[in-house]
């Protein structure tokens, strides 16, 4: 699992981080521009930042994408060097979870496009090469990434492979922290711990993240124009940051995968009790499970989807 997930701290210099936070605030307070007609077949709208020197960053969020790409090219991701060299751009969007918002459900990042076919409307699905979460604050629940991928077993029907995850990785929100993982892995956001180590989001202090998926080809959803944002952070004011790779803490292996608890997007109590002690957000952790796979699913015959979803749309 550690070969497919990585966490980095202190990713941006504080001055650039402040510029990104300001740009995110402006983004969330702005009315989104109308979508182009070409996007009428997509199910969501995101933005695109090409990874070329010919198109300099237009605002601090694109500078963030460029900084993450430089980190990736230096080997700080689960991608091999040739995979990183083939990336074309970063698809980005902003996610905010306030008091009454549910944490993001479990899903796989994908470009889901509806296409006309001989038998009616059909879907075309692709996954990014690399997914990432950049945390702006220390609020809310952890991001959970599972050692599972989706497997299509019939038209409109998919299941998880393997049926139960042997491992899961957790990254707890920490300002200026980056989570990187293979783009086809199942993931989502857990309920907050509800303590000083994971305060619940409020309307005044929401959980805010910038999501960046790196692709070899521009996905269909990433054609939405961004609202007017602050200009790029001045180059002469930027100083190089010194990102550090955070070590994962391996929690004691669990004898069972508590599907009901995970389905509620809650960290099992046994895992909560095993978290390293201390103040502030816990370090990233790895969990292992020794459960046997459940019986075949009556709906798809390919194994139970433990979180009871056989189809899904792309999410962030």
Q: How far apart are CA 20 and CA 274, in angstroms?
A: 34
Per the CB < 8 A criterion, the answer to whether 41 and 114 are in contact is: yes
Q: How many helices (H) and strands (E) in the chain?
A: 5, 15
Residue 114 lies in a domain: yes
- Does residue 293 lie within any of the structural domains? no
Q: Is residue 121 part of a domain?
A: yes
- In this prediction, residue 263 carries a pLDDT of 92
- SS3 (DSSP) at 262: helix
In sequence order, which ranges of 104-258 are alpha helices (DSSP H)? Answer: none
Per the structure, the complete domain to which residue 182 belongs is given by: 5-227+242-272+282-288
pTM, two decimals, is: 0.91
For residue 311, tell me if it sits in a domain. Answer: no
| CB distance 172 to 282 below 8 Å | yes
Evaluate whether residue 109 is within a structural domain: yes
Number of domains in the chain: 1
**pLDDT given at position 197:** 82
Question: What is the per-residue pLDDT for 300?
Answer: 44
Residue 177 · residue 135 · CB < 8 Å: yes
Is residue 305 in some structural domain?
A: no
| Per-residue pLDDT, 121 | 55
**Tokens read off for 259:** 């599907």
Gyration radius of the chain's alpha carbons:
19
Tokens 């929401």 correspond to 206
Instruction: Confirm whether 217 is domain-assigned.
Output: yes
Chain position carrying tokens 């080809």: 217
Q: What pLDDT is attached to residue 283?
A: 94
Residue 294, pLDDT score: 55
Residue 55 lies in a domain: yes
Residues of the chain where predicted confidence (pLDDT) is lower than 50: 295, 297-303, 310-316
Tokens standing for 311? 């189809």
Residue 103: which CATH number?
A: 2.60.120.620
Task: Provide the pLDDT for residue 151.
Answer: 79
Could you give the CA distance from residue 240 to residue 8 in angstroms, rounded to a whole number?
15
Q: Please, what's the b/e burial string for 103-116 (b: 16 or more CB within 10 A of its CB; e: otherwise)?
A: bbebbbbbbbbeee
Span between the terminal Cα atoms of the chain, in Å: 21
């Amino acid at each position: 699992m550690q070969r497919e997930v990585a966490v980095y701290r202190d990713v941006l210099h504080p001055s650039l981080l402040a510029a990104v936070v300001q740009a995110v605030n402006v983004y969330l307070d702005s009315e989104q521009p109308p979508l182009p007609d070409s996007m009428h077949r997509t199910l969501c709208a995101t933005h695109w930042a090409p990874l070329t020197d010919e198109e300099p960053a237009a605002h601090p969020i694109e500078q963030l994408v460029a900084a993450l790409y430089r980190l990736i090219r230096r080997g700080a991701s689960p991608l091999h060097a040739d995979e990183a060299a083939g990336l074309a751009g970063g698809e980005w969007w902003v996610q905010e979870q306030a008091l009454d918002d549910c944490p993001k459900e479990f899903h796989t990042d994908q470009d889901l496009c509806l296409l006309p076919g001989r038998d009616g409307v059909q879907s075309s699905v692709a996954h990014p090469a690399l997914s990432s979460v950049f945390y702006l604050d220390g609020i809310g629940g952890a991001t959970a990434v599972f050692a599972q991928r989706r497997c299509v077993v019939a038209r409109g029907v998919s299941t998880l492979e393997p049926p139960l995850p042997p491992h899961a990785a957790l990254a707890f929100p920490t300002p200026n922290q980056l989570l990187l993982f293979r783009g086809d892995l199942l993931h989502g956001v857990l309920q907050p711990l509800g303590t000083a180590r994971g305060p619940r989001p409020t309307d005044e202090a929401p959980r805010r993240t910038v999501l960046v998926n790196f692709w070899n080809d521009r996905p269909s959803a990433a054609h939405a124009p961004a609202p007017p944002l602050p200009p790029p952070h001045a180059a002469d004011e930027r100083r190089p940051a010194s990102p550090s790779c955070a070590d994962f803490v391996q929690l004691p292996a669990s004898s069972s995968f508590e599907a009901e608890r995970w389905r509620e997007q809650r960290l099992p109590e046994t895992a909560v009790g095993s978290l390293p002690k201390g103040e502030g957000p816990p370090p990233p952790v790895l969990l292992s499970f020794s459960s046997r796979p459940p019986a075949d699913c009556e709906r798809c015959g390919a194994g139970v989807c433990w979180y009871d979803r056989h189809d899904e749309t792309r999410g962030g």
